[in-house]
Structure 1
Amino acid sequence: MTKILIVEDHALVREAMAQRLACLEPELVCLESAGADEALALLEAHGDVDLAIVDLMLPGANGFSLLGVLAKRYPDLPAIVVSAMDDDASVRRALSAGASGFVSKASSGEVLALAVREVLDGGMPTPRASPPGRGARSLSAAERYGLTSAQNRVAELLATGGSNREIATKLGLTEGTVKVHVTAIYRALGVSSRSRALVLLSRRNKGV
């Protein structure tokens, strides 16, 4: 059974999302929340939530703040932002705050359903460079995390499980230079360990 938490302060929008997502599978359950505090209380009460859908414009704590809290308290819980604030800056900020995907409120219910399925399968849907009503492409690691071209090349090899020495050999760099790049990648991803970086980068690759 899949359990999805919808955090949206407009009841009609929230209910419409729940009705559309109910078509994804027979036993899908949607928990509904009008704000951040209520959402966190629901997560405490239900320890088996598979996905959160978060609006950015919420009463009290905004969606960006909620994403930050979710990333810290529930690091394994993917979150999709569904918002009318769909400019590039908002998309990048939401993804940097921990969102696993972004869907514009101008999109259809079908696009939302596809995004939910993609994130549950390990992908990362975003609205960037997508024709209206035609779905979305996924961001590259460089686009999402603001990596330089050199850091992106290291990140691609890092995602395959390569050691610093192996990466250095393949790219014709010194191990020291690779270590500097890896440290910068950790900082960009907001992680402190190689294992966590591998999880994020491998998840990113599944959505390409």
Structure 2
Amino acid sequence: MLKLLVVEDHALVREGLVGLLSQIEEGASVFESADFESALGVLDSEGDFDLVLLDLALPGIDGFAGLDILRRRYPAMPVAVVSAFDDMPTVTRVINLGASGFIPKALNGECLLQAVREVLAGNIFRPSGQALARMDDAVPVPPSSVSVRPEDIGLTDRQAQVLCLMVRGLSNRDIAEQLDLSEGTVKIHATAVFKALGVNSRTQALVTAARYRIDFADVF
């Protein structure tokens, strides 16, 4: 019999998830918590769970820190993030922190259940490119109060260097000279940076770098 835990502070969303997940198989037990501390209490008192579904925007704790705590305290227990912050850097960071999946809240009920089934089957679920939110001025800052390392959001060392120099205002030609690369190679790295950040232009990349407080202290 499946045993699931939903950690979500918004009552209406939590109740909806609990009701939906109870349909995943006959006899499934779905527990719920409105905050991270009570979730830890449930996990300690109720024994093993097959899956925890964790919202990132919880009161009192940085969502990424909460995910990290769960992965360290319960390494054998799958944790899937269910969040409205479904842009590419957030998805990448969640997976890098050890989540078994990232499930956007924008999915309909059938698709959400299918995503949960994939995770329960031992697969890593992440949304397709079409499902990811586009970065523009209307996208809210993700629920993180600390700076983010470039590798946390999928940037290689060289890509981090290129983005860092972009932030400093250097042109592609200037970046090429600084890194002893051809301008064409810099453009290739810039395109990879845009893909990792889920953006389409240098301007959007700079906005994203500021929003995520990307820490470039160790890129050179």
Give the Cα–Cα distance (whole angstroms) in 2 for the partners of residues 145 and 121 of structure 1.
Answer: 26
Name the % identity.
49
Aligned-pair CA distance for 1:81 = 0.7
TM-score, with structure 1 as normaliser: 0.62
Q: Which residue of 1 aligns with 2:116?
A: 116
Note if contact 1:8-1:34 (Cα within 8 Å) is conserved in structure 2.
Answer: yes
TM-score, with structure 2 as normaliser: 0.59
Q: Which residue of 2 aligns with 1:60?
A: 60
Give the Cα–Cα distance (whole angstroms) in 2 for the partners of residues 147 and 10 of structure 1.
Answer: 33
**What code does the residue aligned with 1:118 have?**
E
Aligned-pair CA distance for 1:105 = 1.1
Instruction: Write out aligned runs for 1:154-169 (5 A).
Output: none
User: Larger Cα Rg: Structure 1 or Structure 2?
Assistant: 2
Q: The residue matched to 2:31 in structure 1 has which SS?
A: strand
1:101 aligns with 2:83: no
Task: Flag the 1:35–1:17 CA change in 2: closer, same or farther, 3 A.
Answer: same
Task: Flag the 1:121–1:17 CA change in 2: closer, same or farther, 3 A.
Answer: same
Aligned-pair CA distance for 1:62 = 2.6
Q: Which residue of 2 aligns with 1:90?
A: 90
Q: The residue matched to 2:102 in structure 1 has which SS?
A: strand
Could you tell me which runs of 5 or more consecutive residues in structure 2 were left unpaired when the two chains were aligned.
133-150, 157-220
Give the Cα–Cα distance (whole angstroms) in 2 for the partners of residues 144 and 113 of structure 1.
Answer: 28
Aligned-pair CA distance for 1:147 = 9.2
Note if contact 2:90-2:153 (Cα within 8 Å) is conserved in structure 1.
Answer: no
Give the Cα–Cα distance (whole angstroms) in 2 for the partners of residues 131 and 113 of structure 1.
Answer: 16
Aligned-pair CA distance for 1:131 = 5.0
Q: Could you report, residue by residue, the CA deviation over 1:64-104 in whole angstroms, capped at 9, with x for unpaired residues?
A: 11110111110011111111100001101111122110111
Aligned-pair CA distance for 1:5 = 0.6
Which aligned runs of 4 or more in structure 1 are off by greater than 2 angstroms? Answer: 143-148
Note if contact 2:115-2:125 (Cα within 8 Å) is conserved in structure 1.
Answer: yes
Q: The residue matched to 1:102 in structure 2 has which SS?
A: strand
**What code does the residue aligned with 1:12 have?**
L
Aligned-pair CA distance for 1:146 = 4.8
**What code does the residue aligned with 1:46 have?**
E
**What code does the residue aligned with 1:47 have?**
G
Q: Which residue of 1 aligns with 2:40?
A: 40
Q: Could you report, residue by residue, the CA deviation over 1:42-72 in whole angstroms, capped at 9, with x for unpaired residues?
A: 0000112110000110000132111101111
**Bigger relative contact order (CA 8 A; separation at least 6):** 2
Could you tell me which runs of 5 or more consecutive residues in structure 1 were left unpaired when the two chains were aligned.
133-142, 149-208
Instruction: Write out aligned runs for 1:127-142 (5 A).
Output: 127-130=127-130
Give the Cα–Cα distance (whole angstroms) in 2 for the partners of residues 145 and 83 of structure 1.
Answer: 16
Note if contact 1:67-1:97 (Cα within 8 Å) is conserved in structure 2.
Answer: yes
Note if contact 2:51-2:120 (Cα within 8 Å) is conserved in structure 1.
Answer: yes
Note if contact 1:95-1:144 (Cα within 8 Å) is conserved in structure 2.
Answer: no
Q: The residue matched to 1:57 in structure 2 has which SS?
A: coil
